[in-house]
Amino acid sequence: MKKGLVMVMVIVLVLGTLVACAQPAQTPADTGSSSTAGESTGGSDQPATPLSEDRGTLNIGVISSISGTGSSIGAGQRKAALMAIDEINANGGVTFGGQTYDFVGIPVDDETQPEVAIRRVNEMKREQNVTLTMGGSLGNISTALNRESVDNSFFFMASNGIPEVFFKEDEHSTTAFCITIITEFVGRGACSWMIEQAGAKKIACLMPDYSIGQGTMYGFESMFEELKAEYPDVTYEAVWHPVGTADLSPYIIQCRDMKPDFIFIGSWADDAITALKQCNEMGIKDQMDILHFWLMDEFAQGIPAEAIAGVYGQMMWYHDMTGFRDDAVVQETRRLSDMYFNRYGETMGPYAMSSYYAIYEFKRGLEIGGSTDPVDFRNAILSQPQFFTAKGYATWQEAGIPLYDYSAWIVQGLGVEDREGTVYGRYHDFAKIVYEVPTDRFVPAGRFKS
C-alpha cells in the first residue's frame, strides 16, 4: 500500500514538471517586461534586453495606475517607459560622470490612489535609491507627487494631463515637471475650433462633475471670453453628470433639447464610451455635431466603429500622422508607433508616447548635467531645453512644462468602410487627422515664458 502511494506521488511530480516545462515562454508583450526590477504589487519582469556586465545600473521609477480607474491609461504608460528603457540599454546605455549605466525600470502600481502613489515613491527612494521617477495616470495623483517632491528629495516627471493647480506658486515643487499638457488648455483648443473653424453658434457642454470636467470648462470659458467680441452671437450651456454613470441618456437629452450645433463631450474613459455609444443609439449625430474634448486610443478603440464614425475629437497626438504637413513628425510617429505595435500588438496612446519621451529626457538630462541629484537634474534640462518628439520640437519652460511645435489636433472618427487598408488595422485605426490646433489657441498668451 505504501509502495503504491509513493509511486503515485512520484508520477504526479514528474507529470507536473513536464507540464511546467511545456509552457511557452512569455514575451515582452505578455509581461510588459523590460530591464526591470520586480515590483511587490505586480510580480517580477524578466529583462528583454540583458543588462551589460560592463556597465553600472541606475534605477528609474515608473509609477502608473495598473489597477483602479486609471488602469486603461496606466498600462500604456508603463509599457512605453519600459520600451524606452530597453531601447536605451540596447544602444549603449547612458554615460555621465565618466561611467556608463544601464537603466533599470522600477515599475510600481499606484492603484489610482494618491496616498498609495506617495507611499510607493517613498519606498523606491528608501529601498532602491530612486531619485528620478516618471508617470502618473490621473491628474490628482500627479498633483500629489508634485507636492511630495517639494523637499527636492526626488525629481518627478508627470506624463499625463495635469490641472493648472500643479503649477500653483505655493504648491509647485521645483523638481516636478509635466511633459504633456494642462487640462484647462484642452478646453481652450476645443472652444476655438468649434467657434472659429466649425462655425458653431450654440454649444451644449456635457461635462463630468469632477476635476477633469471642471478644468476643461474653465479653459473653454476662458477662450469663449476671448472670442466673445468677435463672435457675439455664440452661446453655450453646460450639463453636468456624475462620474461613472451607467446611463447618460437623461443628460444627453438635456443637451439635445437645447438644439445646439455641437455637443461638446468632456466625459472620460468609460464615461466617454457610454456617452458616445448612447449618442449613436439616440441618433444624435443625425441632428448635430459632436466633439470629444480629449480622445485616447485606450478608450476610443472601445467605442464601436458605427458610434465613433463622423464624431470629432481633440487629441494631443495620434498614432498615424499620415498626410500631416511636417514630414519629420510623420516619420517619427511611424517609427515610434511601429516599434510599440510590434512589441505589444496594440497602438500607442498619447500618454504612452509622452512616457517614452520622459525616459529619454532622463537620459538627456543626466548626460548634460552628470548628476542624479534632483535639483542638478532640473537645472541641466533647463540649460538645454529643446528636444525632439513625435509632436515636433519641444522646449522646456522655466515652470516645468514644454511648449511643442504642435499642441493638438482635431481628428474625425472612421466608420467600418473607411478603415479598410489603414496602417494598423480596422480595430486600431479609429480616426484621421483633419485639423491642427494652433498653439496660440491652445496655450494662453504669455502663460509660460522660457
What are the chain's domains? 30-181+334-404 (3.40.50.2300), 184-315+407-441 (3.40.50.2300)
Q: Among 230, 250, 231, which Cα is nearest to 240's?
A: 250
Residue 287: predicted pLDDT: 96
Q: Are strands 132-135 and 56-64 parallel, antiparallel or unpaired?
A: parallel
Check whether 145 has a pLDDT greater than 90: yes
Check whether 90 has a pLDDT greater than 90: yes
Contact 52, 89 (CB under 8 A): yes
Confidence of residue 42 (pLDDT cuts 50, 70, 90): very low
Mean pLDDT value across residues 1-26 = 39
Mean pLDDT value across residues 150-171 = 91
Residue 33: predicted pLDDT: 41
CA-CA-CA-CA torsion sign (69, 410, 222, 201) = negative
Mean pLDDT value across residues 242-251 = 94
Percent of the chain whose predicted confidence (pLDDT) is above 90: 80
Rounded to two decimals, the pTM is 0.88
Mean pLDDT value across residues 318-322 = 97
Mean pLDDT value across residues 273-284 = 97
Check whether 7 has a pLDDT greater than 90: no
Side by side, the strands of the sheet bearing 262-265 are 235-241, 202-208, 262-265, 289-292, 312-315, 408-413, 431-437
Mean pLDDT estimate for the chain? 89
Residue 2: predicted pLDDT: 40
Q: Among 134, 132, 153, 154, which Cα is nearest to 142's?
A: 134
Taking residue 121's Cβ as centre, other Cβ atoms within 10 Å add up to: 24
Residue 344: predicted pLDDT: 96
Residue 48: predicted pLDDT: 53
Confidence of residue 211 (pLDDT cuts 50, 70, 90): confident
Mean pLDDT value across residues 9-17 = 40
Check whether 203 has a pLDDT greater than 60: yes
CA-CA-CA-CA torsion sign (195, 199, 205, 210) = negative
Check whether 417 has a pLDDT greater than 60: yes
**Weakest-pLDDT range from 124-133, 164-173, 177-186, 434-443:** 164-173
Check whether 142 has a pLDDT greater than 50: yes
Mean pLDDT value across residues 11-22 = 39
Residue 421: predicted pLDDT: 86
Greater model confidence, 313 or 448: 313
Q: Which helix (H) or strand (E) holds 203?
A: strand 202-208
**Weakest-pLDDT range from 8-17, 91-100, 194-203, 379-388:** 8-17
Q: Among 117, 6, 139, which Cα is nearest to 66's?
A: 117
Residue 16: predicted pLDDT: 42
Residue 39: predicted pLDDT: 54
Residue 271: predicted pLDDT: 92
Confidence of residue 45 (pLDDT cuts 50, 70, 90): very low
Check whether 396 has a pLDDT greater than 60: yes
Q: CB neighbours of 219 closer than 8 A, spacing ≥ 6?
A: 183, 184, 185, 186, 187, 188, 189, 191
Cell 444624435 sits on residue: 284
List the beta bridge partners of residue 133: 61, 156
Check whether 37 has a pLDDT greater than 50: yes
Check whether 115 has a pLDDT greater than 70: yes
